[in-house]
Amino acid sequence: MPPEPPPGATFYRSAYLDKKAAVAGAEWRYPGFGPCSASGHPWGDPGCACYQGRFAVDPYGRVFLPNPFRFCVEVTDTGGNRLLRFGAYGNADSAGPGSREPDPAIAFGFPFAVAGDESRVYVSDILNHRIAAIRLAYAAEGSCAIE
């Protein structure tokens, strides 16, 4: 029997073996992204990574969260406020402009993991068997001289 979680813990129902998991001390939560933990529990396979989403944080503190239920990646600030969302449902034929199925331009079947660098965001789409590289662009940009 797992130990009782501390007061104030948030409970999640894990899709893995239909068990409950508790999270205590979280600094923030975001709807659509949560744990699906098996490791460290007396049930299930402790070596299983299952389909736990992998998020990324950029140097500006923006958090990139895969959302497989909406077929997109959501970008938030450190307070959990949504800044933007990109992607839409698409199958393996939906490979953007110039492909057999050009719409939507960024298509996901099951976005699973996100990573990035200064110019791109990389999204692992396990259902469509690909990694999408999305170029970051900005509507406005400014600079100033430092004296």
pLDDT per residue as tens digits for the range 38-77: 444 555 555 555 566 789 998 888 899 998 889 999 999 8
- Residue spans of the domains in the chain: they are 1-52, 56-135
Cβ neighbours of residue 100 closer than 8 Å, sequence gap 6 or more: 93
Determine what percent of the chain is predicted with pLDDT higher than 70.
77
* pLDDT on residue 46: 54
* pLDDT on residue 43: 52
Spell 103-127 as b/e; 16+ CB within 10 A means b: ebebbbbebbbbebeeeebebbbee
Average pLDDT over residues 85-113: 91
pTM (2 d.p.): 0.73
* pLDDT on residue 125: 93
Q: Dihedral of the CA atoms 130, 135, 139, 142 (nearest 10)?
A: 150
Which segment of 37-41, 116-120, 128-132 scores lowest on mean pLDDT?
Answer: 37-41
Q: In which element (H, E) is residue 119 found?
A: none
Task: Classify residue 34 as exposed, middle or buried by CB count within 10 Å of its CB (0-12, 13-18, 19+).
Answer: middle
pLDDT band, very low/low/confident/very high, at 132 (cuts 50, 70, 90): very high
The answer to whether 113 touches 66, Cβ cutoff 8 Å, is yes
**In the predicted model, what is the mean pLDDT of the chain?**
81
